[in-house]
Structure 1
Amino acid sequence: MLKWLSTSFWDYIAGKILRNRVALLIIIFAFTAFMAMQWKNMRFTYTEANLLPDHHEVNIQYKSFLDKFGEEGNLIVIGFKDSTFFNAKNLKTWEKFIANIKKDKAVDFTISIEDLRVLEKDTLQQKFKLVPFVSNDKVSDEYLKQKEKELFNNLPFYEGMLFNKESGAVRFAIYMNKKIVNTAARKDFVLKYLSKDKIEALEKEMGIDIRVSGMPYIRTLNSQSIIDEIGLFVGAALGVTSLLFFFFFRSFRATFISMLVVIIGVMWSFGTLGLLNYEITVLTAIIPPLIIVIGIPNCIFLINKYQQEVKKHGNKAKSLQRVISKVGNATLMTNLTTAAGFATFIVTESELLKEFGIVASLNIVSLFLLCLIIIPIAYSYMPLPKEKHLAHLGKNYMKSFITWIENTIRKHSVAIFAVAIGLLVFGIIGIYQIKVSGSIIEDMPKNTGFFDDIIFYEQEFDGVMPLEIMIDTKKPKGALKSVTLKRINELQETIEEIPELSKPVSIVNVVKYAKQTFYNGNPEYYELPTKQEEAFILTYIKNSTKKGNDNMMKSYVDSTGQYARITTFMRDIGTDKMAKIEERLQNKIDKLFPTERYTVTMTGKAYVFEKGTHYLVHNLVLSLLFAILLISLLMAYLFRSVKMIIVSLLPNILPLVITAGLMGFLGIPIKPSTILVFSIAFGISVDDTIHFLAKYRQELKANNWKIKRSVYATVKEAGISMFYTSVVLFFGFSVFTLSSFGGTVALGSLVATTLLFAMLSNLILLPALLLSLEKSVANEEEFPEPTIDILAEDLEEDSSQIQ
């Protein structure tokens, strides 16, 4: 037996806590103030979560692409589907709106109606030059209608990029400065020029419905939604748990103490994020409310034990001492298993999950210390609970519930096992129906204006999620070779055949446009030059890029001419469809680009996220297995019995299988948000098992190792606290269903459902399994004394701890 976790150790701790109340409260207050000062270091995320480790091949390829072409997620689009835009009044209003945006240092350049440039042939200097599409000195309603017609019919280069010829939708582009697009300056820019109020005012003045989207805009509003929901979750979690707590205990005093403990825990969790300089992401944002939901069960166990002791002998000092010494180990063990469920994320190579696991596990352990110190100290300054505060211990509804559990175990053991096996089979069948899915915008708030705008751009321009293909020709200027252009063109034709992808853009489009311009703008010549035409058309192009005037090609070819890019955009599709598209494109790439002459890589935000999802699912399955192994080892260390390891794991694995089965049958896919459910729920549900088995062994010893009597006594003794905590956890996690993020809703509802199944499993299946071990009598050899005194025996403690 470990001396430092023995009964005498906890007696010592109880004495220290109760004798040093003032000093401990001062330390907690000072540390809370210190953690509050760390809030200033908290940072909100400005990019999508990168689910892959830095050294992963896909990340390396993406960084290589960024080195060659810069940030590809810097495009904001503003569009509409209304022909009334093309009149003098609206053009003037639009120019006024866009003028300030152009001047802002956050903007590199814009492509709008008034600054749209088209190619014009300069025969004298044998080059192409960019000229304004609209002449300001000719603006009239009639002139603009003519220009609208010209845009849609004579400029195929901009088709799919700036307009949809079939529907008449038009969009203009704002390219943000690549150096600040992923900084706080992006948020300032978006809120200054593209806020809801600004856009609504513009819509009212112009009389058209305006749609704004693009990755910088989506990221900004999505991040703001995360920030807004932190307050919602904390408030809802406090409200729900405090109401439940008061309903159970009918004590303002107990409710206030519990709320104080978890509020301090929340402050520490925010402080931890600041202290470690971690970003607030969609995952770390749920840690503060998690602390509330997980902290309340600690309070329930401690306060329930205090009130049980007071009801038993009425001695406050003895009751407070026993709260610490009798349930200290049990509460420590349950908090360690919960923390272990979160800590398993640390072994993954995803920074996003590592940070989530570190902050959550650290704060769960610190929450245990807060509960163990504050609750006994607070009650030491208060009078004994009145009879009405203890009435809940004998409530009729609780007696009825426990009696029903006992009768079910006693009379229907065969039915219990039959139902358990049936649910297991149900779950396994459902698991085979689960699909892996996920996209950058899949879990974004669907009840927001910016999500509606995403759908608009999906319908009109086939999405806003960039997918990039980078082609390394392995030779300087190789991107402009005729053979390379033809290969790129054929690959683009394949991309155009895929309905989930937008019309691609590359150097090929520029060369086609150059040929059209060479033939005086005739759209019938929008195609690659023939062998005979190449010499003089490419000469025009090369002359056009001299003297730094390389805007025509710099977006599509790097400065050496060795690397070319193809840019397309993707609809919001799951990773399963994305994998099929990737396979189709890769087959075409392998056919068109021999590896000895080219290196072609697919990349971009959409591609990286798809690969990250599969990587994360694989890692989280491993983390769940690691959690099961870790907790199994803990159980083996605690109880030193193979039977107890099996008995403890079965009631907790079964709810995971049931939940996974439900996901399969209900069509809920495995994705980053839903895969988290299993490790979290397993770590929490094992808490009830530890409490039950610890109390069960105590009852065995007290009842001369008679199994039946011990099982029923344990159900009566531990059942109330297990019920209370499970109800709090169920409704506590249910508050996440208030989220506008689909992933957070799925996480909350699935964890709540799993914990509900786990409560019933631990209260019904676990006792039934214990009864099945032996017919009537056990002995100490079969169920040896735990390595650690999880629950202390009912000995007469010294009641002089409080001076």
Structure 2
Amino acid sequence: MSVKFQKAFGWTVDRRGIVWALLLCLTAIAAIGYLAPEMVWKLFEPAPAAVNEKQPSQQSTPRQAAPIVDVVSISDSEVILVIDSSQFFTVDGSQALKACVAALEELDYVESVLWVDEIPPLNIFGLRESFFPGVHASERQFEEAREAALAHPLVGGQLLSHDGETTLLMVKLNWFFVESDEAVTDGLRRAVKSALKNFPSNDFDVLVTGSVPMYLTFITSQEANRFKYQIIGYGMVLLMAVILFRGFRAVMIVAIAPTLGVFWTLGLVSYFDLQDNPFIDIVLPILLSMVGLTDGVHLMVEIRRQRASGLPEKQAAKRGIQKVGLACLLTSLTTAIGFGSLSMAHHRVIREFGWASVLGVIVTFIAVITSIPLACSTWLGKSIHHGHERGLIDRNLSRISVIIDFVLRHSRVVGILGIVITFAFTAISLTLRPDDRRTTGLPMKSEAARAIDHMDQAFGGLEMGFVEVTWKAEVPSDSPEVLKVVTEIDDTLRQEPLLGSPLSIRSFIDALPGDGDFEERMPLLELLPPPLKRAYYSPERRSAKIQFRVQDLGIAKYAPVFERVREECATIARNHPGFSVRLGGEPVRRWESLFQIVMDLVYSLGSASLIIFVVLSLAYRSLRLGLISIIPNIFPLAVTGVYLVVTGQTLEIVSVCAFTVCLGIAVDDTIHFLTRYEEERAELQASGGGSEREAIRRAFIGTGTALIMTTAVLVVGFATVMFSDMRDQRIFASMAGLTISAALFGDLVFLPALLSLFGNSDRSPDEPVDAGLDPEDGETTDAITSEPMSPATFDR
């Protein structure tokens, strides 16, 4: 590493005017992003393109349109009210249910409500009759009505649970009249509760879910967590810093950098319109605070040492940034590489988080190397070294140094053990399997999540998958073979217990009276009302659809199910020339994306690890050091992988994100240790004394305080997110805390052993080491001067 390159960092102290201008400029740009980012968007909006109208001869001939029919669909509602009761088929219960529907339909923003009594009759010539008898009906009549409702293919298992005790009200909204988010959740619930007041004897339990409530629940929880956990996290970090530094002024200066980094990043991210990303809104601010605080602590520890040695404020700040600046640059570079590898992911949330994190790391690095030296070089830096000798870690560093003494005495055993454990843990981590659930992005105790769980039990799931059958033009749409193919697929789906309530034209035809072969049953299709028939059969497009429900058990559990269904469908298609069969739907799409989750992790970790290895090898001009750094960087990730395996967790999107982010953070401690090791080795060689192991020991003492400080602060900061009600955020926080803790162990135990074992040592690993212990009283001493050792000793 070039001495001139290190000294170049002194410009942040020598050129204060430029630093002030840079800080003010970035702050102003970020402030505009918070207040009015559209001002910048308008500058880059392209001019509207001229409209070239086609000549009549160029216009394409319109395709023959299918008849306009308002089909009955149970999968396109925006809000679902899940009502649970054992009294639907009683006089009071049926009247209460009708009153609930009437109350909903009176709301101007409710376009329609699909429920049991809105289903058309199976026969086109039949009249619609209510499934609920009149108020004077007997219990027997209500029981017969219940059986009739359950026998209807679009009611039993679809709008009414098989036990008859849960029903669904499928609500479509008229968004023109929706005035607030609260209206489509609490407003609907209040309308139903108000109607139920007239029926006090009924025990209706009402839950609201669906695509809109789930989205609003996610956004509401995200907004609540965004500020709550940031305040808690920052408060805990500040408290930990005060305890560790034992100097209020030093804490406030260190806090400037992460504060500016978070402020700048969120302001700049606003220009890119990256909303509704839980990682950017909640995790990124805490993550950048930790990253900025890590480098800030290392820089402050060094500046305090320089002040304690007697240097004035400006010289101490300049000397501190020159000694630590290069390490901060390398840590920011490798962290950005780790985050940047997320940009290769196929999942939009991860890609956006990756790019935002790269931007955040860059501006946070700028904040660290400018604001902290600038503040320390002024009157604020006069007393920052006060309390230096009373720091919790500094006072106990001599006790902690027994670790390095033990490691250097047993470097061969410790080094080989580190390699073996890392490879063994990595092998165990590779057994992780990917998974995905709809409710992972929702608070586990939220109403929307509880409703989904109830629908899993009562209906076989909220999500819908389908199998689409298409046929060639030479196959008549009224061919009995169409019904035969649909029936074979329907039978296949019914053999899978995890697939709930398959629904197709076969279901409706079977519900009609009569029996016979497919040639005799196919004409019955013409008796079905168009709203029912065309929901699952479209002769103009030569297609038919078989729909089924999927529970939120984790999509990995459906992998063998979907594999079997797909294989059976392929067999059916081969047995019926002219027909094509396709398995589709949102659950199927998520299943197909599971492999991509694993590949995203492999690509991101692999590419990031390779690039980091190259960067470290070039930075230290040593392939040997680059190879040595692999173990302490992979070890913490392997530990976290084993934790996931032991606790029975799976590899989810948040896990992929956390692994890559943790790699970027874990390598920071390694870089600071290696940088200090290189400096100490150069100084020892220049002075003509000391050994390779003495350089390792000095690096341990020189960086130990900052490494332990930053790890403690980082773990406490991430631990605050563990109180979140969002499962994804708790997983991310637990993985980050465990990885950072394991990284400290790897860098203070395995890394020194590997440097001693495989570095350019001037003695064999088994040769006794002068650990710097005075034989008389065991006091830690400088191996060169035999004077009592303190961290400031190494700055002479």
Range into which the TM-score falls when normalised by the shorter chain: 0.7 to 0.9
Separation in 1, partners of 2:621, 2:241: 35
Task: State the match for 2:11 in structure 1.
Answer: 12
Aligned pair partner of 2:210 in 202, 207, 214: 214
Aligned partners of 1:449 and 1:528: how far apart in 2?
Answer: 47
Distance 2:475 2:158 in 1: 26
The Cα shift of 1:698 comes to 1.0
Shift in Å, 1:627 = 0.4
Identify which range, 315-324 or 635-644, moves more after superposition: 315-324
Q: 1:743 to 1:539 in 2, by over 3 A?
A: closer
Residue 487 of structure 2 is matched in structure 1 by 489
Unaligned stretches of 5+ residues in structure 2: 41-69, 765-793
Instruction: Compute the displacement of 1:760 (Å).
Output: 0.9
When residues 394 and 512 of structure 1 are mapped into structure 2, their CA distance, relative to the original with a 3 A threshold, is closer
* SS of residue matched to 2:625: helix
When the two structures are superposed, what TM-score results if normalisation uses the length of structure 2?
0.83
Matching residue of 2:166: 170
Q: Which residue of 2 aligns with 1:324?
A: 321
1:190 paired residue number: 184
> Do 2:245 and 2:387's aligned partners in 1 also have CA atoms closer than 8 Å?
yes
Indicate whether 1:540 and 2:503 are aligned. Answer: no
> CA–CA distance in 1 between the matches of 2:74 and 2:626?
52
1:606 aligned partner:
587
Q: Return the match for 1:284 from 280, 286, 311.
A: 280
Matched, 1:244 2:240: yes
Residue 464 of structure 2 is aligned to residue 466 of structure 1: yes
2:95 is equivalent to residue 98 of structure 1? no
2:152 maps to amino acid: P
Question: Against the structure 1 CA distance between its residues 230 and 394, is the aligned structure 2 distance closer, same or farther, given a 3 Å change threshold?
Answer: closer
Contact 2:88 2:165 in 1 (8 A): no
Greater shift, 261-270 or 300-309, is seen at: 261-270
Verify the 8 A CA contact 1:512 1:529 in the aligned structure 2. Answer: no
Which deviations, in whole Å up to 9, do the C-alpha atoms of 1:43-67 show, x marking residues without a partner?
Answer: xxxxxxxxxxxxxxxxxxxxxxxxx
Q: In structure 2, what is the equivalent of residue 57 of structure 1?
A: none
In the alignment, the residues of structure 2 paired with residue 394 and residue 457 of structure 1 have an alpha-carbon distance, to the nearest angstrom, of: 54
Q: Which of 600, 606, 619 is 2:600 aligned to?
A: 619
**Residues 128-277 of structure 1 mapped to structure 2, 5 A cutoff:** 128-129=125-126, 131-133=128-130, 139-140=134-135, 142=137, 146-147=141-142, 149-153=144-148, 155-157=151-153, 158-165=155-162, 167-176=163-172, 187=181, 190-194=184-188, 206-277=202-273
Equivalent-residue separation in structure 1 for 2:551 and 2:410 (angstroms)? 53
2:473 partner letter: K
Match of 1:675 among 648, 656, 673: 656
Counterpart code for 2:437: S
- The one of 506, 509, 512 equivalent to 1:508 is 506
The CA deviation string for residues 531-589 of structure 1, in whole angstroms up to 9 with x for no partner, is 34544x34434xx5xxxxx3222322347241222211111233432111111111221
Q: 1:78 to 1:325 in 2, by over 3 A?
A: same
CA spacing shift, 1:148–1:210, aligned 2, 3 Å: farther
Question: Do residues 577 (structure 1) and 557 (structure 2) align?
Answer: yes
Amino acid at match of 1:10: F
Structure 2: which amino acid aligns with 1:628?
Answer: S
SS of equivalent residue, structure 2 residue 473: coil
| Residue aligning to 2:301 | 304
Given that residues 511 and 528 in structure 1 are in contact (C-alpha distance below 8 angstroms), is that contact kept between their aligned partners in structure 2? no
Q: Is the 8 A contact 1:467 1:568 kept in 2?
A: yes
Counterparts in 2 of 1:25 and 1:638: CA distance versus 1, 3 Å: closer
8 Å CA contact 1:41, 1:277 repeated in 2: no
Q: Tell me how far 1:774 sits from its aligned partner.
A: 4.1
Question: Which amino acid letter does the alignment assign opposite residue 158 of structure 2?
Answer: M
Does 2:115 align with 1:112? yes
8 A Cα contact 2:375 2:381, kept in partner: no
User: For residues 562 and 476 of structure 1, what CA distance do their matches in structure 2 show?
Assistant: 10
Q: Secondary structure at the match of 2:540?
A: coil
Distance in 2 of aligned mates of 1:160 and 1:34: 54
Q: Secondary structure at the match of 1:313?
A: coil
Q: How many percent identity over aligned positions?
A: 20
Higher relative contact order (CA 8 A, sep 6+): 1
In the TM superposition, 1:557-572 aligns within 5 A as 557-558=537-538, 560-572=540-552
Partner residue, 1:51: none
Looking at structure 2, the residues matched to 552 and 335 of structure 1 have their Cα atoms a distance apart, in angstroms, of: 60
Q: Structure 1 residues 593 and 20, CA, compared in 2 at 3 Å: closer, same or farther?
A: closer
> Which residue of the partner structure matches residue 771 of structure 1?
756
Query: Are the aligned partners of 2:29 and 2:268 in contact in 1 as well (CA < 8 Å)?
Result: no
TM-superposed CA distance for 1:382, in Å, is 2.1
Give the deviation of 1:477 after TM superposition.
9.0
Q: Deviations over 1:427-483 (max 9, x none)?
A: 145235423322323564322233222221111111112112222223399555321
Q: Which moved more, 1:213-222 or 1:487-496?
A: 213-222
Q: Give me the CA root mean square deviation.
A: 3.4
Superposed displacement of residue 711, structure 1? 0.9
Change (3 A) 1:626 1:395: closer
Letter in 1 for 2:735: L
Which residue matches 1:729?
714
CA gap 1:71/1:117 in 2 versus in 1, 3 angstroms: closer
Q: Structure 1 pair 432/297, CA: closer, same or farther in 2 (3 Å)?
A: closer
Residue 340 of structure 1: CA displacement? Answer: 0.9
**Cα separation, partners in 2 of 1:346 and 1:220, compared to 1, 3 Å:** same
| Cα distance in 2, alignment partners of residues 116 and 349 from structure 1 | 41
- Confirm or deny that 1:356 pairs with 2:344: no
Distance 1:77 1:141 in 2: 31
Q: Bigger shift: 711-720 or 467-476?
A: 467-476
Q: Which residue number in structure 1 is paired with residue 396 of structure 2?
A: 398
Q: Secondary structure at the match of 1:502?
A: strand
Aligned residues: 724
Q: Which residue does the alignment assign to 1:448?
A: 446
Work out which of the residue numbers 591, 594, 612 in structure 1 matches 2:571.
591
Q: 1:700 corresponds to which residue?
A: 681
Instruction: Decide whether the 8 Å contact of 2:443 with 2:725 is kept in 1.
Output: yes
Relative to structure 1, the CA distance from residue 387 to residue 326 in structure 2 (aligned partners, 3 Å threshold; closer, same or farther) is closer
